[in-house]
Chain A
Amino acid sequence: MDKNNQIPFDEDNYTHNINRNNERKLDRRGFMKTLVGAAGVFAVSSLPWGAVAAKELLGLKNKEYPHQKIADLDAVGIGEAVEFAFPGEHDSALLIRLGEKKFVAYQNACTHLRCPVFWVKDQNEMVCPCHHGKFDVETGAPTAGPPRRPLPEIEVEVNDGAIFAVRVKRYEA
């Protein structure tokens, strides 16, 4: 009764005044419950991956985008590169003229951490400056550094003295 009127209040019991047996104890069964819950979380979180994979399977294959003009033929010298965006305005890409009639184009987001990849003419390679990833210019395959997947290739077409991006190729890996 008059405990409450005392200053200082002598029972330091503000934080653990709920007395339940084994409240904090993680027993075997509790641990198993956690494991089952983890399995559930894994199951649920794999759903979106399956969903996007199914979407991809169901018809986005080799999707046609409207052909997009990249540059005039005369504007690109042999060994030079042009940046453009295809198919969306944020999918930056790189066109490289390797020969009189030979063009290659890749989406130039590095397959490591999506830094832009540049064409380095002297080294005859595409280089990602972030972690010195390198890509083969003929195929887009990674040749050095952290990236492990090739750059997605863009099919190009020369028409009426201009270069057009036609579609994004699927790569086999």
Chain B
Amino acid sequence: MKLKFISVFILAGILMLNIVFTQKMVHQYFYENYVNTLIFMGLNIVLFPIALIVYKRDRKKGGERA
């Protein structure tokens, strides 16, 4: 039970970070700190492969569904 849901929590955390970074990115854009906008865009993009890795790892390890 505990270990089974670890990936879910990680992914939920990633989604949270996605939201935070998106918010920051938009704000930094309007504050005209364009470098910061680019940094947050990069972070947002990097989160996607991380999420994918977490998912793949879970599938490989878990085997059984549900």
Contacts and interface: CB of A to CB of B under 8 A. Distances in A.
Given A29-B59, A149-B30, A173-B31, A49 B41 contact: yes
Contacts, number: 99
A55 B35 CA distance: 11
Interface class of chain B by DSSP: helix
A28 B63 CA distance: 12
A69 B9 CA distance: 60
Contact of A46 (B31, B45, B58, B59): B45
Measured as residues with beta carbon below 8 angstroms from the partner, the interface class of chain B is: 35 or more
18 contacts: A32-B8, A33-B55, A35-B12, A36-B52, A36-B55, A39-B48, A39-B50, A39-B52, A42-B15, A42-B47, A42-B48, A46-B22, A46-B45, A49-B26, A53-B29, A53-B34, A57-B35, A173-B31
Interface of B: 4-5, 7-8, 11-12, 14-15, 18-19, 21-22, 25-26, 29-35, 37-38, 40-42, 44-45, 47-48, 50-52, 54-55, 58-59, 62, 65-66
